[in-house]
Structure 1
């Protein structure tokens, strides 16, 4: 589906399910800022958009390659930027969707894979209601806002993961027997996923600041600095979270070892009490007729009594040493 949003300081217009040719004709016939959002991975549609706008053939290939890292490229009359949108689905899993962005004079074109939902609802609402300064700025500010929405989605997921890690930490501190390994591994995979996309995204934003200067106004350089700082903060969160998860795993292993030590201590105490009794029982379990105690009338009760006294003495000694 193709959606065309056009606006200036005083007007706003939105057309949905528009054809590539109709969108191109509408864009060519106006001086308003145009945002063409293409939610489709159909090669024929993409090829038509590329041909109408006279983009380089390599741009089409970059758009079609889904499994690719964020990148930034400069062409004669436009710049190309690709990244990955991250959203949390209903199963609390992180969904990935590649987005490619083309910025040219007064026109911004975004290419999505066509998966349900994206991270631009708030941005569309700002344009529609003329909130903030977006409708008073040129198209490069819209370009920044699109990138900011993508990076903000990373930040929101990072904050959610930070809360989950802190909850996990509190849980393991209050309950030594709490099984955390599955949760730790699940969170660690999410953190690694964000980190895998954030590192090349930082490189792409850094390159854009220097190489894309001709397409970006000087007044918007401060916004790009802020965007770069956001990406750095996300990367720092990923590194910190990996350390925190490693500490949680170490704490879990320590708790397991302590529990094992408590079990072994209990077994050792029981063994220490009953070993002398077992020794005595072993002696009197031998079948020798010459053993004098065999003919003693009270031998059975005497041996049991001796075992009880020995056990009580050992228990008292362990208690005095505070081993119990």
Structure 2
């Protein structure tokens, strides 16, 4: 039988127990070949069903003589690719709805380590290894974007787009956090499985992958806290700016308050007000109001309430 998507066919020298072992990869275009293959090998029906139709979360299930693994791969654009696998003693069967560069990366690793290719557990490890590296690259990219967002807050603190970007990032990070946590638990289960060629042979490698995903989940938690801090920072900057505006308006109103008082007094027009008969009363009132206004402004300046935001209150 010929399969168009056969990626690796291992030499007999490396096959376990004198048998051939191979990794077969299928896509949606070759799904018919996959169904034909599954009818010829002894695999649990539920594992076959999950391989063909998928799951909603990353998971691992152990059946008689096989393992089912559902792996979620994160792309740089934060798109999710699902790769489903069945591992037996002689086969590593993987399936994805569409092509992904991850397959070539795993193949390249196996080419350089052909002694590992005879063990389905090692093939699985390389899948997990590449997926963890992909996730770490995405983490680095998210960190750079969040840092740019933080700088933007100081440049344009009143841009409403910043708040919307923070909200979108928090949603995406929450989704990534769920995937990373589920895959971390999945890998911890793989450490303790007793399936041949996975537990004893690859357990140290699985521990390394678990450690990577622990760092990934911790980084995503930190990103959520950082985004909340950026949002609070923007609100604080807006509040500070509003306080400056209110302070300026208050100072202006206080300066004009004595002027309004003087104008009100001399606007009463009582006959017994001698100042109303002064030849220079109008000029005197204007000079008085101007002098009081300037004096109040200079007092505010001296106290550091006006135009000197860094001056300490005396």
| Gaps in structure 2 of 5+ consecutive residues | 307-314
Does 1:148 pair with 2:129? yes
Q: Deviations over 1:136-162 (max 9, x none)?
A: 652321111012112221111111112
Separation in 2, partners of 1:194, 1:184: 15
Q: Deviations over 1:112-170 (max 9, x none)?
A: 122x534233222334xx32456565232111101211222111111111222233334
Is the CA contact (8 Å cut-off) linking 1:6 and 1:32 kept in structure 2?
no
Equivalent residue pairs, number: 298
Q: CA RMSD in A?
A: 2.9
Q: What is residue 113 of structure 1 aligned with on the other side? A: 97
Q: What is residue 48 of structure 1 aligned with on the other side? A: 36
Q: 1:271: Cα distance to partner?
A: 1.3
Is the CA contact (8 Å cut-off) linking 2:27 and 2:97 kept in structure 1?
yes
**For the structure 1 residues 298 and 236, does the alpha-carbon distance in structure 2 shift closer, same or farther, using more than 3 Å as the test?**
same
Separation in 1, partners of 2:71, 2:55: 11
- SS of residue matched to 1:53: coil
Separation in 2, partners of 1:178, 1:135: 56
Separation in 1, partners of 2:180, 2:233: 28
Is the CA contact (8 Å cut-off) linking 1:134 and 1:142 kept in structure 2?
no
Q: What is residue 277 of structure 1 aligned with on the other side? A: 259
Is the CA contact (8 Å cut-off) linking 2:66 and 2:87 kept in structure 1?
yes
Separation in 2, partners of 1:133, 1:184: 46
Q: Which of 70, 77, 80 does residue 96 from structure 1 map onto? A: 80
Q: 1:4: Cα distance to partner?
A: 0.5
| Gaps in structure 1 of 5+ consecutive residues | 12-29
Q: 1:49: Cα distance to partner?
A: 4.0
Q: What is residue 267 of structure 1 aligned with on the other side? A: 249
Q: How does 1:57-68 map to 2 (within 5 A)?
A: 57-63=45-51, 65-66=53-54, 68=56
**For the structure 1 residues 259 and 3, does the alpha-carbon distance in structure 2 shift closer, same or farther, using more than 3 Å as the test?**
same
Q: What is residue 155 of structure 2 aligned with on the other side? A: 175
> Which runs of at least 4 in structure 1 moved beyond 6 Å after TM superposition?
none
Separation in 2, partners of 1:234, 1:262: 42
Separation in 2, partners of 1:226, 1:42: 33
Separation in 2, partners of 1:285, 1:41: 93
- SS of residue matched to 2:220: helix
Is the CA contact (8 Å cut-off) linking 1:154 and 1:194 kept in structure 2?
no
Is the CA contact (8 Å cut-off) linking 2:191 and 2:199 kept in structure 1?
no
Is the CA contact (8 Å cut-off) linking 1:72 and 1:79 kept in structure 2?
yes
**For the structure 1 residues 232 and 59, does the alpha-carbon distance in structure 2 shift closer, same or farther, using more than 3 Å as the test?**
same
Q: What is residue 6 of structure 2 aligned with on the other side? A: 4
Q: Which of 103, 107, 112 does residue 131 from structure 1 map onto? A: 112
Does 1:322 pair with 2:310? no
**For the structure 1 residues 238 and 212, does the alpha-carbon distance in structure 2 shift closer, same or farther, using more than 3 Å as the test?**
farther
- SS of residue matched to 1:88: coil
Q: What is residue 37 of structure 1 aligned with on the other side? A: 25
**For the structure 1 residues 159 and 270, does the alpha-carbon distance in structure 2 shift closer, same or farther, using more than 3 Å as the test?**
same
Q: How does 1:243-254 map to 2 (within 5 A)?
A: 243-254=225-236
Q: Which of 46, 49, 62 does residue 74 from structure 1 map onto? A: 62
Normalised TM-score (structure 2): 0.83
